[in-house]
Chains A and B, each alone.
Chain A
Amino acid sequence: ETGVTQTPRHLVMGMTNKKSLKCEQHLGHNAMYWYKQSAKKPLELMFVYNFKEQTENNSVPSRFSPECPNSSHLFLHLHTLQPEDSALYLCASSQETRNQPQHFGDGTRLSIL
């Protein structure tokens, strides 16, 4: 148990669907992150929230929309995705963004039909 819970674990959706990924951390951390992990590519940072404020948007297409209502919850809203968006989406949290390690959830495996 990592203290970071992601739901759902698997998601299959069509390109015209709208869905959301959810992440919840039980560690009392102040920073939360979304990453995309694709085969044979480095882990790609998508978004960073620090004390509920978005501090990083790594040139992510607007079809991905993050939401951080409080320090414990992070969402990734998805709409009109493309087949190349199929990947493992990982959520992480840390006490702060500098020296402390990030704690990862087990990810959502997303498949776009």
Chain B
Amino acid sequence: AQSVAQPEDQVNVAEGNPLTVKCTYSVSGNPYLFWYVQYPNRGLQFLLKYITGDNLVKGSYGFEAEFNKSQTSFHLKKPSALVSDSALYFCAVRDRTNTDKLIFGTGTRLQVFP
């Protein structure tokens, strides 16, 4: 069965420091992977996706993610965190057996301190 794990409920980082939000996945075949962000009282907002090609994917607001097939990971990164990056981040994988379906992780709350 396809699944996504986000092992950290919360990540704390100081403004200006690099940040990483972890995601590992389990799929049969090649994965389609996505990152979304949710700000308070808002819906989810698409950040970036990996379908095929270059393992380093660049997205919105300076975020990027690295696809690592051997480690089945798709960690979200940013070189320099901003206080405004504080939000809830979701990793998601396309269900290859039912391609209408996105499977989401439980989310990681990112807190960036000034």
- Contacts A/B (CB < 8 Å), 6 sampled: A2-B43, A6-B43, A45-B101, A97-B99, A102-B44, A104-B36
Cβ 8 A contact of A2, one of B34, B45, B51: B45
Determine the residue in chain A with the shortest Cβ distance to B34: A101
**Chain B positions near chain A (C-beta within 8 angstroms):** 32, 34, 36, 41-46, 49, 51, 90, 94, 98-107
Residues of chain A with a CB closer than 8 A to B105's CB? 42
Residues of chain A with a CB closer than 8 A to B46's CB? 101-103
Q: Smallest Cβ distance from B96 to chain A, in angstroms? A: 10
**Chain A positions near chain B (C-beta within 8 angstroms):** 2, 4, 6, 31, 40-43, 45, 48, 50, 55-56, 58, 90, 92, 97-99, 101-107
Check if A98 sits within 8 Å of B43, measured CB to CB.
no
Given contacts A106-B41, A107-B43, whether A48 and B106 have CB atoms under 8 Å apart is no
What CA separation (Å) do A106 and B57 show in the bound complex?
Answer: 26
Check if B90 sits within 8 Å of A106, measured CB to CB.
no
What CA separation (Å) do A27 and B72 show in the bound complex?
Answer: 33
Determine the residue in chain A with the shortest Cβ distance to B41: A106
Cβ 8 A contact of B43, one of A42, A55, A58, A104: A104
Given contacts A31-B100, A98-B32, whether A43 and B94 have CB atoms under 8 Å apart is no
Determine the residue in chain A with the shortest Cβ distance to B3: A42
Residues of chain A with a CB closer than 8 A to B90's CB? 43
Residues of chain B with a CB closer than 8 A to A102's CB? 44, 46, 102
Residues of chain A with a CB closer than 8 A to B104's CB? 42-43
